[in-house]
């Protein structure tokens, strides 16, 4: 157990056994909002934002025994028809690394799991962070294996620092490119760096997306265009995943500004 895991587990226990967990959820969910944990992965390379292949398989083993994995679009549709059971978990992958197909997809199929893959279309067939990115054919492979393809802009830009014209171009061009590749609809979007503002959200709606994922640490779905996601870090074991899904790690929500942002910076997410 490394230092991060030890600290996290001590804080998990403190949060639960002192009653802070019950108090937090009593105060922050007075309207009994819909709960659906959305996990954010990038790849299976611990050196560049990802986790090891062994850890990811352990996560899938755990999830397959206790939960139903869904895509983002599936969970939105379930909410709309009031078909949520409380056992759903959404798996997402950002950016479009090639190992999403060569390593992740076989494991998803092995455990009959689903995921949404958010692709930055400007990276297709190229290299990013020194790693190969998916090709058009590989995107089709994901889609034909019942995975959802979502957009992550063209150039992975910070939309909060972009003009409305640039935002529209990034969201519209990427959506059209992906729809042409898979010959199907692209309805889900992921904000690069989790950055957005009211104008970005409005443009996202107008272009025709039905949802958008952020990096807010939570699992209560309040707004389809600011879906919270819990980042999976390289050291996260099955115990850590369980803590996040069950809310034992929601002390992170409380410390979001001073702790979580440092982790995002550290792992360059």
Q: Which domains does the chain have, with CATH numbers?
A: 3-91+104-156+163-266 (3.20.20.370)
Instruction: Inform me whether the pLDDT recorded for 32 exceeds 80.
Output: no
Instruction: Inform me whether the pLDDT recorded for 257 exceeds 60.
Output: no
Instruction: Inform me whether the pLDDT recorded for 50 exceeds 70.
Output: yes
For 232-249, the pLDDT digits (tens) are 999 999 999 999 999 999
Where do we find the tokens 């294996």? 145
Contacts of the segment 83-86: beta carbons below 8 A, 24+ positions apart: 84/34, 84/36, 86/35
Strand partners of residue 90: 38, 70
CA distance 190 to 197: 13
For 131-183, the pLDDT digits (tens) are 999 999 999 999 999 999 999 999 999 999 999 999 999 999 999 999 999 99
In the prediction, which pLDDT does 127 show?
94
For 209-224, the pLDDT digits (tens) are 999 999 999 999 999 9
In the prediction, which pLDDT does 220 show?
93
pTM greater than 0.85 (yes/no): yes
224: its two tokens: 């389809």
DSSP string, 26-88: HHH-TT--EE--EEEE--S-TTTT---HHHHHHHHHHHHHH-EEE-HHHHHHHHHTT---S-E
For the residues 31-42, what does the mean pLDDT come to?
A: 90
In the prediction, which pLDDT does 260 show?
55
In the prediction, which pLDDT does 261 show?
56
Sign of the dihedral through C-alpha 54, 56, 61, 66: positive
Residue 185, C-beta contacts closer than 8 angstroms, at least 6 positions apart? 179
Q: If you average pLDDT over every residue of the chain, what do you get?
A: 93
CB 188 within 8 Å of CB 209: yes
- Tell me the pLDDT band of 269, cut-offs 50, 70 and 90: very low
Pick the closest to residue 150 from 192, 104, 200 (CA basis): 192
32: its two tokens: 């009994």
Q: For residue 133, what is the DSSP state?
A: B
In the prediction, which pLDDT does 28 show?
80
Sign of the dihedral through C-alpha 178, 179, 184, 187: positive
Pick the closest to residue 39 from 47, 24, 28, 50 (CA basis): 50
Continuous segment of H or E residues that includes residue 95: strand 88-95
Question: Higher pLDDT residue, 108 or 26?
Answer: 108
Q: How many CA atoms lie within 13 A of 147 on its CB side?
A: 28
In the prediction, which pLDDT does 253 show?
83
For 110-119, the pLDDT digits (tens) are 999 999 999 9
CB 43 within 8 Å of CB 99: yes
């Amino acid at each position: 157990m490394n230092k991060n895991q030890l600290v996290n587990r001590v804080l998990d226990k403190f949060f639960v056994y002192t009653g802070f967990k019950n108090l937090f959820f009593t105060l922050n969910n007075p309207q009994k909002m819909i709960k659906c944990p959305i996990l954010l992965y990038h790849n299976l390379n611990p050196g560049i934002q990802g986790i090891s292949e062994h850890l990811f398989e352990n996560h899938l083993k755990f999830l397959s025994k206790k939960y139903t994995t869904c895509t983002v679009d599936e969970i939105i549709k379930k909410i709309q028809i009031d078909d949520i059971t409380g056992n759903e978990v959404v798996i997402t992958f950002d950016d479009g690394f090639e190992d999403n197909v060569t390593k992740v997809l076989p494991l998803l199929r092995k455990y009959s799991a689903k995921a949404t893959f958010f692709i930055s279309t400007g990276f297709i067939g190229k290299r990013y962070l020194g790693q190969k990115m998916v090709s058009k054919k590989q995107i089709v492979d994901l889609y034909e294996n019942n995975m959802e393809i979502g957009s992550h802009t063209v150039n992975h830009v910070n939309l909060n620092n972009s003009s409305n014209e640039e935002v529209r171009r990034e969201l519209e061009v990427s959506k059209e490119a992906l729809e042409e590749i898979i010959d199907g609809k692209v309805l889900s979007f992921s904000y690069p760096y989790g950055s957005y503002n009211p104008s970005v959200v409005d443009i996202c709606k107008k272009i025709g997306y039905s949802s958008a994922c952020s990096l807010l640490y939570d699992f209560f779905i309040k707004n389809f265009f600011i879906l919270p996601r819990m980042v999976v870090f390289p050291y996260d074991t099955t115990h850590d995943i369980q803590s996040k899904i069950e809310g034992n790690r929601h002390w992170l929500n409380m410390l979001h500004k001073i702790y979580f942002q440092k982790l995002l910076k550290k792992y360059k997410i």
